[in-house]
Structure 1
């Protein structure tokens, strides 16, 4: 069936191409008054019959444009528009293929006030640093959501996980009418708002609220999308409800309800399942915490967000979540945003690891098997208040509260064998723990604009209070064999308290040297972190049958202060094409540790360093720009690396700090280039970054014949890393109903680490390159095929001649398809193939196929779905990891095949065009 549809589509495209007419229209656009060329004017061609867009482009820095394409229709109409100018129009009759319109002069529009313009039909409008798309100009299926719309916009890419990029730069924030929606979350917005309610899509550099208030340019490497909603569609309800039950006792249920009432917005979401899914997109959960942190995933579907775990980390995960977000505006100058989120999970996992450890003079092997169970409950509340006192004074207040309770158990058996496979040592441990953590943080930002030349004062204060209490039970046996055999049995209880009081202040004053162009910034940063650690370990007393024997060796009680003071000066220059900044600062850092159990280990160190940062951005024209950044950063060693305390908590790896360590310094450089050709629909993005690390702190281990490690820390020079890559994309409109998008790219990563083993210093350089190719074919809005292929080559070379170099090759192929034939039946497939010929002891290749059928009912407001997970029953997370010190093969519990029947219902009363039909099924 699919082959027949594809063949018909190809034949139709060939026939369409044969009937269409080629055209090329060129000219120069200037201002009538100054006769100066107009850059970034929009030129678009419409069909005279129904005003449908045929093609469009923009002028270059000299005012030139060239509009090329194909059309079935002879009667067309050309429009030229620019902010602040009267529009120009001209009829075009395709009696020939080439048209030279010569010089076209645009008159100033007397009816315009600054940038307030009448509504334009132009597909693209460029306003200073903002790119604006007219939604009506981009055709999608009738019930498309915002994500479907973004895929149609030139230069915008949306990958399988919902990550959005614009000309290679990631979109990290999406706003609705200029305000956050679910904590600025991209995916919850794009998957749940319908295209019909959107009027404009605006893209600009990501800015903090303070940067937006002062008119600064923001982050060159991240983008923000603002969706403007039609006024008649900004009031009402929308949301979804879904539930499903399947084989192997699998289940899922989720709901989200949203209420928009102009400035007031309330959204509620809830979910529960046992299929390693958060119930919504990962971005939805990440942004519920206010953003700004990291999100991590394991190969089997478990994940964590900003350090908060969902599912305990690995294995089969049962999760439940609930959240509410509220946004409103009070009076003229107060905006309020509030997010509450609850996450609960339980997980179990079993894993095994086989590791070959590399020494300068020999090798040895270690094998381990482990199992774990984990339960986690997390409550998070974030508030944000934006108070605009007047047009020159803004206050931002952002308090946050987190409460986390966690308990779990962990069992592990591990053994080490020498190069002749003779058992040398082994350990068998059983641990269980319960912990409770409380966190409060609050950040206050003050921004005051001074005069009209770009001067301002900014001040911020952030405090953080963390309190964690843990009860830990350890029952283990460690055996060492050979000439000096020994056995150590531990049955212990530890009461652990960790507290943090942190304060960070920052003040910036900007003085204009040339009004609105050249500035001098004076900055001062003060940061203090005070940490308290108290760990009381007790051995089990067989006489009293209680944990009452205090173990001094495994206990600790210390207070650690880390104080940093950094005054700095910066020069900042910006105009239409150039942006330049250079900053230098002097960092004074004091590290002080007071050990109450071991006063002889008290420590105080001062580190003085110079920090540098320089950036340059040049905009060639509206199509291309280049960005460069250099920084010199210094890092003090951690307290556990500095303090000469001998840690024997792991008898097989005894660690002692080195008080003579020096601060590390890291030179880093980054360059990127991006270009998008509006006429040819081609995008090019190139980037490279490199870092040189001196005085890097690394572990230095001496391993005895019994394979017990004695570890300390040393400074080394010569470590470096280089990573880079690029991508090229091209969109081809095959005819009026089909198009093809081509993406090709590569990633490069070179990393050299310096290591020690048994007093021998050596370097290990790893080079990895991963070219990739992707295609997207769409026909008549009913067929979509997206194949992609990546091959990764990795090679690790060692400085020592007796070390064997390592090479790895991995292949990954993926194809995603979607068909809506017949009209009410949607069939989606996600097929992945992975091949790793270097994995030892596990499957080298695997196919992974997910499939979903969704049938629309109730006038397309609901659907019945049948989901098949891992149709071929080959899901595995077997993998090989190679480092400078070891090669490891691992495997752990994964979610197995299941089938699930589900029901989905979406509702939307935003305006009169609120009909929704998107099943939002995520693999």
Structure 2
């Protein structure tokens, strides 16, 4: 019986292949009137039976095209379309003319343009100047697909496991809905919450600010914006999601988001709470809502922080809660408003340990440290955006924001230093408690005015910022120095801190056209003034008064610091269809002033004058490929802490003093990229490389005595550099109508040279690493999806002082993501990570990390019951090794342990016809 089934399957396969028809259709497209080639015309082949897409491509800069593929149907209909031209159609008999040369095809100007008749294009892809547009109907997805599922189907678009989107290798940093922000332009919130069925078109362009778009300037060629156009009949109603879960070890999570669309009016709210190191929403959802003025950092383990809040990753255990709302409306034509409020609270607990091996010119020594922390953060933020279009040539943008932050922190640390014979030399322990309140207000006003039709404009911007931070810090520390001259110092202190910042930034530019809409001279002037007031009053504990009453001058500060920068510049800009070029030269005039009220002898004033350069070049070979080049020369002045000859003795084992003789650093940067996408073969290639060379780099200069007590200052060093390069190649293969494979092959290369000075000897470390990677995604009939990826990193660090300490690291990472939908309502997802680093000493060298989720759809697929297993094998770790110019560090910290969670989620969507809301039932 089994043999018979195999024979039948083979016969069926042969029969199907015998009925498939390979085809190759070529030709050249020109305009009927001028007889000039038409570039970027869309050529697509449809099944005659149901109008579904068989294959498509676009014409090159010579108007030529080649359409290849195979079909199981004898006849198909060929369409050729271009904006402003009448369509060309032809029925093709694939069984009779597999190789068809159509010769020269002339398209004439659309005859119905003057009659204001709108014809909706059936082409899957349309190129309009600098905009790439996809017709959503041409790309099939599962029934309940969201925008992220749709984007994964578009040629040249990649969506990784974290939701990061790239187009031909370039990141998407903004997503709009009908040309307007949705939750602060955040890509991830839009892609995961909007249903594909309401989208009509997906448009992709270079990212532009509103002022750049209004003035007609070219956008950022290295970042992309996606605009989703919603069908008019689907622009009114409610949609969102509600989810909750509880698990072992008292783990829990809950999140909800509700959105209301009413044509031009939009209102959304979200809230979440959990203790599983998750913000409840994506990074983008939080960061974009919170505003661009907040501090942002990313950790190597997937964690991130926004405005003092820490989320995600494997470091520490984090309990978080969030709530927010956003509102957008167009009160009348030319007056748009966007506003949002966001609250976030988090508690983070972490225990970590670090082992370091330091290399000195004449010896080695070691440090071992342990620390634990408990941080509590509460943030409130409000952001608004007003766009006022006075007339078609005059635009005003106003962006105010306000942030209030309250944080409390408990931190304990113990560190010991040992000489090269592992003899204990000194030890330091400290415990601290701090409580701070911080307020931040910012407001930016942009004004853009266009003149005439030759591309002339004037732009002005002014931004002010006011920061106020105050709080208390209690510190208790002990340092013990052993050896021939042992000593001990105990501190019990309280510090009252009051820091303020008043900043104003302004810029103005005027564009003078030399050749209308092609060649320009931009004259620019930038001014910035930052005034910082830092008052830190430290008091020692007095046994007689049993209070902190003894003022400690050495650990106190009271100064006002001004940083004033004036930068006039001139920019030559040339823009044509194929290429664009600009080169800017400016003069940076910078003054640093410091008035020290506690130590008048440390007051100083420094002037720094330097040239700044910036040049870019971009060339588009055709609609498939482009190259981008950039060079810049930047100058960075030392900070006041690096300049002021004040000795910071907060940590008695590491005393730091500024150097007033420092010079500003000069950094040369270069960057280049090349990308190409073949629409016919569905292959994409992206290559990038860049680097920087810094002279007068500000580096640390440290002296270490026999007791391993460090005394540090700063100095200038030349020849500090870094470089990076990478390439990716992907190819989409459609095996049949239900099976596709997308191959991805790439590599990254990094190198750097760092310098620091130890005991008056330059200590130089050179690091080089290369990381090849390979992966693919296999999808079969919307039932099975497998996405493996493998990375291996080879890294070598060389030292100029002690070459025998040269290090070579090799690390491996394998990630496998799978998804099955069988039976139809049951979805099983797995995310398996394997890491191996044999060079880590004293910690786990390898680990498997496996998360698994079962999800069962109920209530007509509106709701889902989930069972999640986190770290199935209970091997989660974040051990890592870092090599620098003077030490090698192994570290490890607290990670979230294994848990199992049962959850429930419900999605609702009532987006219906314009002006009408469909009824729906709510079930739990």
TM-score range relative to shorter protein: over 0.9
Distance 1:11 1:544 in 2: 98
In the TM superposition, what is the alpha-carbon distance from 1:299 to its structure 2 partner? 5.4
What is the count of residue pairs matched by the alignment? 910
Q: 1:781 to 1:610 in 2, by over 3 A?
A: same
Distance 1:291 1:195 in 2: 29
TM-score w.r.t. length of structure 1: 0.97
Tell me what 2:143 maps to.
142
In the TM superposition, what is the alpha-carbon distance from 1:306 to its structure 2 partner? 5.2
Tell me what 1:786 maps to.
787
Distance 2:175 2:707 in 1: 57
In the TM superposition, what is the alpha-carbon distance from 1:376 to its structure 2 partner? 0.6
Q: Is 1:22 equivalent to 2:50 in the alignment?
A: no
Q: Secondary structure of 1:860's match?
A: coil
Tell me what 1:253 maps to.
254
Q: Is 1:734 equivalent to 2:735 in the alignment?
A: yes
Distance 2:313 2:430 in 1: 20
Tell me what 1:909 maps to.
910
Distance 1:482 1:474 in 2: 27
TM-score w.r.t. length of structure 2: 0.96
Deviations 1:879-910 (A, max 9, x none): 11111111111111110110000111000001
Tell me what 1:691 maps to.
692
Distance 1:758 1:344 in 2: 45
Tell me what 1:55 maps to.
55
Deviations 1:659-697 (A, max 9, x none): 111111000111100000111111110111011100111
Tell me what 2:361 maps to.
360
Tell me what 1:279 maps to.
280
Deviations 1:685-736 (A, max 9, x none): 0111011100111000010110001111111111111111110111111111
Superposed, 1:29-108 pairs within 5 Å as: 29-94=29-94, 95-108=96-109
Tell me what 1:351 maps to.
352
In the TM superposition, what is the alpha-carbon distance from 1:332 to its structure 2 partner? 1.4
In the TM superposition, what is the alpha-carbon distance from 1:303 to its structure 2 partner? 2.4
Contact kept? 1:45, 1:76, Cα under 8 Å: yes
Tell me what 2:3 maps to.
none
Q: Secondary structure of 1:191's match?
A: helix
Tell me what 1:713 maps to.
714
Of residues 130-139 and 15-24 in structure 1, the stretch that sits farther from structure 2 once superposed is 15-24
Distance 2:149 2:884 in 1: 41
Contact kept? 2:315, 2:878, Cα under 8 Å: no
Contact kept? 2:308, 2:377, Cα under 8 Å: no
Superposed, 1:428-577 pairs within 5 Å as: 428-577=429-578
Q: 1:11 to 1:689 in 2, by over 3 A?
A: farther
In the TM superposition, what is the alpha-carbon distance from 1:797 to its structure 2 partner? 1.0
Deviations 1:89-108 (A, max 9, x none): 00011124211111111010
Distance 2:11 2:805 in 1: 55
Q: Secondary structure of 1:335's match?
A: strand
Q: Is 1:111 equivalent to 2:134 in the alignment?
A: no
Tell me what 1:834 maps to.
835
Tell me what 1:583 maps to.
584
In the TM superposition, what is the alpha-carbon distance from 1:282 to its structure 2 partner? 1.4
Tell me what 1:423 maps to.
424
Contact kept? 1:627, 1:672, Cα under 8 Å: yes
In the TM superposition, what is the alpha-carbon distance from 1:289 to its structure 2 partner? 2.0
In the TM superposition, what is the alpha-carbon distance from 1:806 to its structure 2 partner? 0.7
Q: Secondary structure of 1:822's match?
A: coil
Q: Secondary structure of 1:211's match?
A: helix
Tell me what 1:921 maps to.
none
Deviations 1:859-890 (A, max 9, x none): 11101111111111100111111111111111
Distance 1:84 1:294 in 2: 47
Contact kept? 1:310, 1:343, Cα under 8 Å: no
Distance 1:847 1:312 in 2: 16
Contact kept? 2:314, 2:877, Cα under 8 Å: no
Q: 1:629 to 1:677 in 2, by over 3 A?
A: same
Q: Is 1:702 equivalent to 2:734 in the alignment?
A: no
Deviations 1:283-341 (A, max 9, x none): 11111123477743445664202554458994111100000000000111110000110
Superposed, 1:3-14 pairs within 5 Å as: none
Q: 1:180 to 1:619 in 2, by over 3 A?
A: same
Contact kept? 1:701, 1:757, Cα under 8 Å: yes
Distance 2:411 2:102 in 1: 76
Tell me what 1:920 maps to.
none
In the TM superposition, what is the alpha-carbon distance from 1:523 to its structure 2 partner? 0.2
Distance 1:800 1:915 in 2: 74
Of residues 149-158 and 112-121 in structure 1, the stretch that sits farther from structure 2 once superposed is 112-121
Distance 1:823 1:757 in 2: 65
Tell me what 1:3 maps to.
none
Tell me what 2:825 maps to.
824
Q: Is 1:815 equivalent to 2:842 in the alignment?
A: no
Contact kept? 1:864, 1:902, Cα under 8 Å: yes
Contact kept? 2:668, 2:693, Cα under 8 Å: yes
In the TM superposition, what is the alpha-carbon distance from 1:572 to its structure 2 partner? 0.2
Distance 1:314 1:57 in 2: 48
Distance 2:442 2:298 in 1: 26
Tell me what 1:4 maps to.
none
Q: 1:60 to 1:548 in 2, by over 3 A?
A: same
In the TM superposition, what is the alpha-carbon distance from 1:16 to its structure 2 partner? 5.3
Contact kept? 1:675, 1:684, Cα under 8 Å: yes
Q: 1:448 to 1:485 in 2, by over 3 A?
A: same
Q: Secondary structure of 1:62's match?
A: coil
Q: Secondary structure of 2:51's match?
A: coil
In the TM superposition, what is the alpha-carbon distance from 1:762 to its structure 2 partner? 3.0
Of residues 708-717 and 172-181 in structure 1, the stretch that sits farther from structure 2 once superposed is 708-717
Superposed, 1:538-687 pairs within 5 Å as: 538-687=539-688
Distance 2:308 2:171 in 1: 22
Of residues 904-913 and 741-750 in structure 1, the stretch that sits farther from structure 2 once superposed is 904-913
Of residues 762-771 and 284-293 in structure 1, the stretch that sits farther from structure 2 once superposed is 284-293
In the TM superposition, what is the alpha-carbon distance from 1:110 to its structure 2 partner? 2.2
Q: 1:540 to 1:452 in 2, by over 3 A?
A: same
Contact kept? 1:17, 1:735, Cα under 8 Å: no
